[in-house]
Amino acid sequence: MTGRFVTAPWIWGGMILFHIGLVVVALRFYDHQSFHLYDAYRQAAEREVEFLAKVAGDTLQQGSYSGAQRLLAQWAGKDPSTHSVALRAANGFLIGGHQRGQPAEHRIAVSRTVAYSYRGEAELTLTKDLTPVREKSLLLALEVIGSSLFVSITYFVMTFSALRIQRQSQELRRRSEALNRTNALLQEEVQERIRAERELRRAAKAIENTSEAVVITDAVGRIIQVNDAYCRITGYSQRELLGSNPNINHSGRHDRAFYEAMWARIRENGSWSGEIWDRRRGGEVYPARLSIDTLFDEDGEVENYIAVFTDISQVKANEEQLERLAFYDALTGLPNRTLFRDRLEQGLRLAARIQGQLALLFIDLDRFKPINDTLGHDAGDLVLKEVARRLKGCVRSSDTVARLGGDEFTVILSEVRGGEEAGMVAQKIIDALGLPMEVKGEPVTVGGSLGIAVYPKDGNDFDSLTKNADDAMYRAKEDGRNRFHFFTEAVEKQSRQRLTLERQLQQALDRGEFVLHYQPKLDIRSGRVCGMEALVRWQPEQGPLVGPDRFIALADEVGLLVPLGAWIFDQVCAQTLVWRAQGHDLQVAVNFTARQLRHPEALAMISGAMERHPLPPGTVELELTEGAMMEDLEHCIATLHRLRALGLHIAVDDFGTGYSSLQYLKNLPIDTLKIDRSFLQGVPDDPENLSIVSAVVYLGLSLNLEIVAEGVENAAQLHFLAERGCQQAQGYYIGPPMDAAAFSAYLAEGRWPRV
Amino acid sequence: MSCRNRPALWGLLLCLLGSQAAAAERLTLGVQPFLDRSELLRRFAPLADYVGERVGRPVEVRIAQDYEQHIEDIGNDRLDIALLGPAPYVVMRDRYGPKPLLARLEVNGRPELMGHIVVREDSQLRSLEDLRDHGFAFGDPRSTMSSLVPRYLLLRVGIRERDFGFVLRLPGHQDVALAVLSGDVDAGAVKQEVLEAYRAQGLRSIAQSPPISEHLLVARNGLDPALVARLRDSLLEMGQQPEGRRVMQGLQPGVTGLVPVRDEDYASMREVLRWLGPINP
């Protein structure tokens, strides 16, 4: 029954007719949809060619045929669906264009006439490759035909295909709209930029004095202002930079994405900051901390970008340097006085908490000064390093060994059981220091004197404990060195004896036991003695002559230096007046300490002396060490200016051993630099000292300062100084310190060497 | 008295020497504004550094506001070293007198430029006289080869600008070539390289200019003669050193050397300017 029905001819005929009908419908459907697709594509292409023709026309209008060439090549290269672009002149000449591969079988070509002034008229042709689209719709049609074998499926497939095609054409329409929108946005952006450029106003601010580099650009990134710091850091001059783009500083260490992210952030937030690698004009790459801000005008448009940055390579280096200098002794690597104080205070707190004991050892080297003086400072440095090494070998790693300066060391023994244990360590140290060492091929033996103070017995705070350890050490030294002493009653008695010494000093002043010696200074240019340095000595009633190094510090400590200074000043002025009256054109230099400089009566004392002794301005010179000047720089500058107003000259003593900062040479009112005697050692053979002396002389000449070389000991040194243009020389070769009578004879007999 | 502060003192001395070097007076290298500032700076800063390093003085690039200012600055000895084109050179020399000459550029092995008057291959125009009443394209009015020299060639056969049907002024030599090939004008003026580049597409020369000497570097009057000699030597040696060649290539593509220069080399340029009469360079 069923079989008959299926094989019935009318069914077959019907089915065949139905399928033929389906194929026809499918083909028509395909035609229809293809037409729509083509149409949509054509419309998009028309819009594209119109836009392109307008831009190309504008470019040609300006006479830039080569610009139009570049534009077309770039345009065609951007979109893979563009098969070719061609701009042909009226005579057929191809002005510009681009073709991708072989001509496609299915394509849409659209043309526009590009009219530009003069008599030119060109034709712009844009060809879009439709092969992929064509293939896709053909496939759809085949699907439809194939599916006609199954009526029911065909229906679904057709519906489905129709929907897909419709979606595609919608998609296509959407894309062409998006293209239009992009074009519009592009135009808008161009307009915006032009407007921003027009509205650009300078945001010039007082930024020249900041040490940070500042650069201001306009909205499109052209530099309109930079400060000096920017020029200094980048290496370009202001003239070179104005009008350029800051990207000439790019180091090449960051990729495009980095800068794009940076600018995205600036556009979003208005600012960016961070660390960045830049490159100087000379090519050196350096890290910088950079922040960029945007300035907007009243309409909210970008007006300027301001970038501020610092070269942080220096900052980083400085921080490390500072850290090191602040807490550790540069020579031995041991903790310095600052860190020592910190450690001791910490140790005391700990000892208090656990109710334990702590021992503090003060160590002063014996026979160190002679080593320094005979073998030189570098030998002394080697000895100090070796001492540091040995000290560390004598204690536990939890104990602290510190260097307080010079040949003074200290050891903190935490958690000791008592004095005996500290004594054992002390003996160990003395034994270790007593072993000979070899320095520069010479066998050398130093020893040490130790003072011990124990917490809590000998003191329960930093000050009392250190003072008592120090006193104990003095005692050890005076008992004959190479031994240790506890801070006991006896040591305390010893410290009372120091008080006695203070009284003796006071008496010496009252009784006139101080005498003045004078060391001549030679004017190298004229070969004549031009002045002298006054040096104070103490001649006790009984006993030998005492040098200033023995009593100046003490007098300074106990405040006797001001009355002593007044006495010295009067003596020196009076004596100088006498010699000048005898026809010697002499200048006299007097040493002055930080304490004296700070003393409120210092000015009154000096101006009194100057009034009593009518000396011409510039006759009296004050010698101050760098350290004395640096203690209170501001006050010092003010005082020195007043002293100069009184007619005094100011000299920097021992130059090169202290801060040696250009800053103070610039800021302080000084007339003379005295090169420290240590730099003359070995000159003219020691190449390092030779360079230092040459350079200091050169420095003095450039700053218009008088240069005095101290410690001149032979003719070769004097000759070398003369050659370098050094003005004055002082030292045993010129003449030793002499009392007034001897100095008079020296002047009368002309005993100084000839240059 | 200790020497342990030596590092501090050395630091001070280094500072001092550094500041002395920085204080050595800067030399200036003047450039005429033929490109935008950033580009000029990028191209000429390496030359400034190269020369500066060899004469031991820092050199700073200065870019003039315009050509006239550039000529005035050179003439009044406000620039220590300056680069200038053949025409500005002749104008400067005739207005302010001689300057010490350093070197001229050699491009693709030749220290001279050549210019042509060109037409299309299929054009009926055979000689300069034929150009009357036709359309003609010049390049930038400041350009030697696409403006000054062609005007001179035309003047010599009695053709002035008003004798043309119309005249276009286009930005560059390439634009002139393309305008001629497009038929927008009947003839135009281009330099030799551009003629060669477009010959295959149908460009033909109907007249050729005399050779015109290339761009040159001059020094300021009053500059220490020893320094001038060092400057000249350092420039002339550039072609023999890889670094020098790299710096030269950066100036302009195709520069192959810096070669000796004399004022006589600019006789042809001077002749051109004499024909053109007083002009703005």
Band of pLDDT at residue A203, cut at 50, 70 and 90 = very low
- C-alpha distance from residue A367 to each of A36, A165, A386, A445 (Å): 109, 106, 15, 8
- How many Å apart are CA A116 and CA A329, to the nearest integer? 82
CB-based contacts of A401, cutoff 8 Å, min separation 6: A334, A335, A388, A391, A392, A395, A409, A410, A411
- How many Å apart are CA B278 and CA B85, to the nearest integer? 17
Cis previous bond, B281, omega within 30: no
- Residues of chain A in contact with residue B37, where contact means CB-CB under 8 angstroms, are 242-244
pLDDT of residue A650: 93
Minimum-distance CB partner of B183 among A91, A676, A677: A91
Work out the angle between the directed axes of helices A687-702 and B6-23 (0-180°, nearest 10). 50
Entry field: residues in chain A: 755
- How many Å apart are CA A19 and CA A21, to the nearest integer? 5
Query: pLDDT digit string (tens) for A286-309?
Result: 888 888 888 888 788 888 888 888
Most confident of A24-33, A121-130, A184-193, B110-119: B110-119
Band of pLDDT at residue A517, cut at 50, 70 and 90 = very high
Residue of A nearest to B43 (CA): A248
Decide if B72 contacts B262 (C-beta within 8 A). no
pLDDT of residue B2: 39
Band of pLDDT at residue A713, cut at 50, 70 and 90 = very high
pLDDT of residue A154: 57
- Residues of chain B in contact with residue A122, where contact means CB-CB under 8 angstroms, are 182
Percentage with pLDDT > 70 across chain A: 86
CB contact under 8 A, B2 and A678: yes
- Residues of chain A in contact with residue B198, where contact means CB-CB under 8 angstroms, are none
Residue of B nearest to A122 (CA): B182
pLDDT of residue A659: 67
* Residue where the block lists tokens 């070509």: A109
DSSP character at residue A525: T
A68 SS3 class? helix
H or E stretch including A683? Answer: none
pLDDT of residue A6: 45
- Residues of chain A in contact with residue B16, where contact means CB-CB under 8 angstroms, are 662, 695, 698-699, 702
Query: pLDDT digit string (tens) for A78-87?
Result: 777 788 889 9
* Residue where the block lists tokens 């489905």: A160
Residue A282 has pLDDT above 90, yes or no: no
Residue of B nearest to A663 (CA): B12
Minimum-distance CB partner of B16 among A91, A657, A699: A699
Distance from CA of B17 to the nearest CA of A (A): 9
Burial class (CB in 10 A: 0-12, 13-18, 19+), A293: middle
* Whether complex ipTM tops 0.90: no
Query: pLDDT digit string (tens) for A486-507?
Result: 887 655 555 456 557 767 777 8
pLDDT of residue A204: 44
CB contact under 8 A, A331 and B4: yes
- Residues of chain B in contact with residue A676, where contact means CB-CB under 8 angstroms, are 1
Give the full edge-to-edge strand order of the sheet including A400-405.
Answer: A400-405, A408-416, A357-366, A447-455, A484-486
Query: pLDDT digit string (tens) for B254-277?
Result: 888 999 999 999 999 999 988 887
- Residues of chain A in contact with residue B123, where contact means CB-CB under 8 angstroms, are none
CB contact under 8 A, A120 and B13: no
- Residues of chain B in contact with residue A69, where contact means CB-CB under 8 angstroms, are 178
Bridge partners, A298 (sequence order): none
Residue A110 has pLDDT above 90, yes or no: no
Q: What is the mean pLDDT of residues A647-658?
A: 87
CB contact under 8 A, A678 and B174: no
* Residue where the block lists tokens 């005492």: A546
Residue B98 has pLDDT above 60, yes or no: yes
pLDDT of residue A316: 66
Query: pLDDT digit string (tens) for A359-412?
Result: 999 999 888 888 888 888 888 888 999 999 999 999 988 899 999 888 899 999
CB contact under 8 A, B9 and A119: no
- C-alpha distance from residue A690 to each of A128, A320, A660 (Å): 83, 31, 17
Band of pLDDT at residue B14, cut at 50, 70 and 90 = very low
Cβ burial A388-418 (10 Å sphere, 16+ → b, else e): bebbbebbeeebbbbbbeebbbbbbbbbbee
CB-based contacts of A196, cutoff 8 Å, min separation 6: A219, A220, A301, A302, A303
CB contact under 8 A, B4 and A378: no
pLDDT of residue A622: 93
Residue B33, φ and ψ in degrees, nearest 5: -80, 70
CA atoms within 13 A on the CB side of A464: 10
Bridge partners, A272 (sequence order): A292
Report which residue type is found at B97: G
CB contact under 8 A, A678 and B1: yes
CB contact under 8 A, B202 and A93: yes
Query: pLDDT digit string (tens) for A669-701?
Result: 899 999 998 888 888 788 888 888 888 888 888
Minimum-distance CB partner of A244 among B20, B41, B201: B41
Chain A contact probe: residue of B41, B42, B47, B194 with most A CBs at under 10 A: B41
Residue B177 has pLDDT above 90, yes or no: yes
Chain B contact probe: residue of A61, A65, A372 with most B CBs at under 10 A: A65
- Residues of chain B in contact with residue A675, where contact means CB-CB under 8 angstroms, are none
pLDDT of residue A200: 44
- Residues of chain B in contact with residue A282, where contact means CB-CB under 8 angstroms, are 49
Query: pLDDT digit string (tens) for B200-224?
Result: 999 999 999 999 999 999 999 999 9
Mean pLDDT taken over chain A:
82
Residue in A286, A288, A292, A249 with CA at minimum distance from that of residue A273 = A292
pLDDT of residue A458: 86
- How many Å apart are CA A391 and CA A426, to the nearest integer? 10
Residue A692, φ and ψ in degrees, nearest 5: -65, -45
Query: pLDDT digit string (tens) for A553-601?
Result: 667 666 677 788 888 899 999 999 999 998 899 999 998 888 778 777 7
- C-alpha distance from residue A309 to each of A203, A287, A482 (Å): 18, 10, 59
CB contact under 8 A, A63 and B168: yes
pLDDT of residue B31: 92
Distance from CA of A662 to the nearest CA of B (A): 7
- How many Å apart are CA A590 and CA B274, to the nearest integer? 79
Number of C-beta neighbours around residue A181 at 10 A: 10
Lowest-confidence region among A333-347, A364-378, A698-712, B162-176: A364-378
- How many Å apart are CA A231 and CA A239, to the nearest integer? 10
Take residue B76 and report the two structure tokens written for it.
Answer: 């009044």
Query: pLDDT digit string (tens) for A212-251?
Result: 888 888 888 888 888 888 888 888 888 888 888 888 888 7
Residue B76 has pLDDT above 90, yes or no: yes
Q: Looking at per-residue confidence, does B228 or A151 come out higher?
A: B228
* Residue where the block lists tokens 């004055």: A728
CB-based contacts of A547, cutoff 8 Å, min separation 6: A537
B134 SS3 class? coil
Distance from CA of B266 to the nearest CA of A (A): 31
Residue A73 has pLDDT above 60, yes or no: yes
How many CB pairs (< 8 A) connect A and B? 126
CB contact under 8 A, A120 and B174: no
Most confident of A730-744, B23-37, B135-149: A730-744
pLDDT of residue B19: 41
Determine how β-strand A587-591 pairs with β-strand A528-538: parallel
pLDDT of residue A150: 58
- Residues of chain A in contact with residue B12, where contact means CB-CB under 8 angstroms, are 660-662
* Residue where the block lists tokens 């109710």: A355
Give first-to-last CA distance, chain B, whole Å: 70
